[in-house]
Amino acid sequence: MTFDDETIVAYVDGECDAVTARRIEKAMETDNLLADRIARERALKSRIAAHYDPVAQEPVPDRLTALLTASMENNVDNSFAERKAGKDRKRAGRAGFGIAQWGAMAATLVLGIVVGQFGLGQNAGPVAQQEGALIASGQLETALEKQLASVQSEDSRYRIGLTFRSRSDQICRSFDGEAVAGIACKADGRWQLEEMIPGKATSGYRQASSSEINARAAAMMADAPVDAEGERQLMENGWK
């Protein structure tokens, strides 16, 4: 696998997405040329930082400080502190409303959309309920079981994204469809839905499903996503 210079720079700067970072780190284990490229980029970044950091840390000259202070005394908007304090209070009130809460809201929204379109029964639509768990059914189950990300037609109802092994040692696959997108993991012979967000037909509720799902997948991965050959082997082995 090859990576362009822009991706390498983004990785060294800590700005590339989590899935790409995992792929680079996995590739570095066997690709000495890639490891050397990254080492050189890190060394260059260190030299630039060493050159400019002392300048950035120099104290502001007294004459400039005096000018700045005089300007602030004459022109400062004293309401700024009050506005900032108000924003801080609002932010503190939302502090407990984090990723888990947003994830629960998204899953509830998706479930409502799916139930509204298909009902919630064993073959009624893409999601079924079994022993208290939400599992893939119908065409979604078929796609997860038999569709390779490397070989899928444009008219497929569900498109498969990443295939990876989770930290809990399950094979998981991301997917995107009209009603629902998310991540399903193979457990006890069924594809259990671990993450769900609204699909393409409800794009008004989301901005970028692939990025959001990839970020969630990266948090679940034990290693980098498998390549096309690895995906094929897993399917032939019953996703084990």
Total residue count of the chain as it appears in this document:
240
55 lies in which domain range?
A: 1-76
Higher pLDDT pick, 70 / 109: 70
Residue reference for tokens 């899953």: 107
144 within 8 A of 136, measured Cβ to Cβ: yes
Question: Is 89 within a domain?
Answer: no
Specify whether 1 is located in the same domain as 120: no
Phi, psi of 89 (to 5 degrees): -65, -40
Specify whether 111 is located in the same domain as 181: yes
Higher pLDDT pick, 144 / 41: 144
Specify whether 70 is located in the same domain as 180: no
Q: Nearest 5 degrees, angle CA 156-CA 23-CA 151?
A: 20
Question: Is 22 within a domain?
Answer: yes
Specify whether 208 is located in the same domain as 108: yes
Question: Is 123 within a domain?
Answer: yes
Question: Is 86 within a domain?
Answer: no
Question: Is 179 within a domain?
Answer: yes
The rounded percent of the chain whose pLDDT value lies above 90 is: 26
Specify whether 60 is located in the same domain as 119: no
pLDDT in tens, 165-214: 999 999 999 998 877 888 999 999 999 998 888 776 544 444 445 677 88
Higher pLDDT pick, 85 / 222: 222
Specify whether 71 is located in the same domain as 114: no
Question: Is 87 within a domain?
Answer: no
| Distance between CA atoms of residues 101 and 232, nearest Å | 36
pLDDT at 190: 93
Mean pLDDT of 80-90: 53
Averaged confidence pLDDT in the chain: 74
| Distance between CA atoms of residues 158 and 126, nearest Å | 10
Distances (CA, A) of 130 to 33, 103, 119, 120, 188: 49, 21, 14, 10, 12
Specify whether 121 is located in the same domain as 39: no
Distances (CA, A) of 162 to 3, 71, 141, 183, 197: 18, 55, 16, 9, 16
Q: How many domains does the chain fold into?
A: 2
185 within 8 A of 172, measured Cβ to Cβ: yes
Question: Is 27 within a domain?
Answer: yes
| Distance between CA atoms of residues 180 and 153, nearest Å | 19
Specify whether 131 is located in the same domain as 220: yes
Question: Is 42 within a domain?
Answer: yes
Q: Which of 118, 100, 126 is nearest to 181 (CA)?
A: 126
Higher pLDDT pick, 33 / 203: 33
pLDDT at 213: 83
Q: Is 70 exceeded by the pLDDT of residue 68? A: no
Specify whether 174 is located in the same domain as 231: yes
Specify whether 226 is located in the same domain as 163: yes
199 within 8 A of 178, measured Cβ to Cβ: yes
What pTM, to 2 d.p., does this model score? 0.57
